[in-house]
Structure 1
Amino acid sequence: MATGPLGVVRRQASFVGNYRHVVDAQGRIQVPRAIRKAMLPESQGTLYVTRGLDGCLFAYPLDTWQNLAEQWELALNDAPSFEKRNEIRVMTSHACEARLDGQGRISIPAYLLKAVDIRSEALFVGVTYRIEIWNPDRYEAAIAAAENSFEQNMRNLVSFRQNRQSG
């Protein structure tokens, strides 16, 4: 469940796991079955794909994207700084709507694939309420350090969560 900008509690999809899929010549990629099944009916088979952090793409189901857009609007009204407006501009100007076709594929524009060096293969990674789409080699390099220090990272994550709950 997620709380919307007006305090309304909303259901929210949750994504986990990682899945490797081929990118065809038209930039179409099969969305993994587990991800399609986790998407809520409210998403209407639609993902919004945009540039993400650390060299990947972020993909949000339609309902999650709409919740984010509402939060961005409130943020603009609460703190209408030039920097905040630019953050939102960058996030939305790079975004595209990607509807699942009859075969469970989405089309991602070439400019987004090029920005994160995705060519013939893509790796879908479930990260709670969003999906990250990676060049598999780039993902392996990015995650290698975290894998090597998994136990310490887990302790840090638990500590972070406890600090947020108590503070």
Structure 2
Amino acid sequence: MTSIVGQYDCKADAKGRINLPTSLKNKLLPYMNDEFVIKRSVFKECLELHPKVKFDEVMQKVMKKGGRGKQFELFLMKFTAGLKEVPIDADTGRLQIPKNLFDFAGLAKEVVLNAQHDKIEIWDKDKYEGVLESMSDAEYEAMAENIFDVDE
């Protein structure tokens, strides 16, 4: 998969539909004939949109590392809660977000699509901005130094 990156500001209508910007839609064209998977994020109050082929890879990792105990079964239940396969209309680039997921993420009219390599996070704009502001510049710089092994 070609890395999908970028932040896209969009609007959701009253029925939970979002028209993807043309530039993002074009990056997703190789996957338009397949379904996408939309689900709750594990660590954040947003949704994740995955090309189904990529989500299948994630599920293979989960199942390989998981096992079969009660804790794993509860994890799997929560991990897949609300998960739905959804199409993106290849002509219009329209995505219909299921109501239960729309409500979970607290989405309103202003929505941010934050593309991160092989998934797209779907955020309420105000919540997205709040999360960005929650990490101080010093924390961000320290994390960047750790990730990129920057010597002082």
For residues 33-48 of structure 1, what are the structure 2 equivalents within 5 Å?
Answer: 33-39=22-28, 41-42=30-31, 44-48=33-37
Q: Which residue of 1 aligns with 2:57?
A: 67
Which SS does the other structure have where 1:41 is aligned?
helix
CA–CA separation in structure 2 for the residues paired with 1:124 and 1:36: 12
TM-score normalized by the length of structure 2: 0.83
| Letter of the 1:50 counterpart | K
Match of 1:96 among 76, 80, 84: 84
Shift of 1:13: 3.8
User: Identity across aligned pairs (percent)?
Assistant: 22
| Letter of the 1:65 counterpart | F
Which SS does the other structure have where 1:80 is aligned?
coil
Shift of 1:90: 1.6
Match of 1:122 among 103, 107, 111: 111
Q: Which residue of 2 aligns with 1:85?
A: 73
Pairs aligned (count):
147
- Cα deviation, 1:5-64, whole Å, max 9, x if unaligned, reads xxxxxxx34221111111112211112333322236256353211111321111111111
CA–CA separation in structure 2 for the residues paired with 1:94 and 1:54: 15
Shift of 1:134: 0.3
Structure 1 gap segments, 5+ residues each: 1-11, 163-167
| Letter of the 1:159 counterpart | N
Provide runs of 4+ in structure 1 moved above 3 Å.
Answer: none
Matched, 1:157 2:144: yes
Change (3 A) 1:156 1:13: same
TM-score normalized by the length of structure 1: 0.76
Which SS does the other structure have where 1:73 is aligned?
helix
RMSD, matched Cα: 2.1
Task: Answer 1 or 2: higher relative contact order, Cα 8 Å, separation at least 6.
Answer: 2
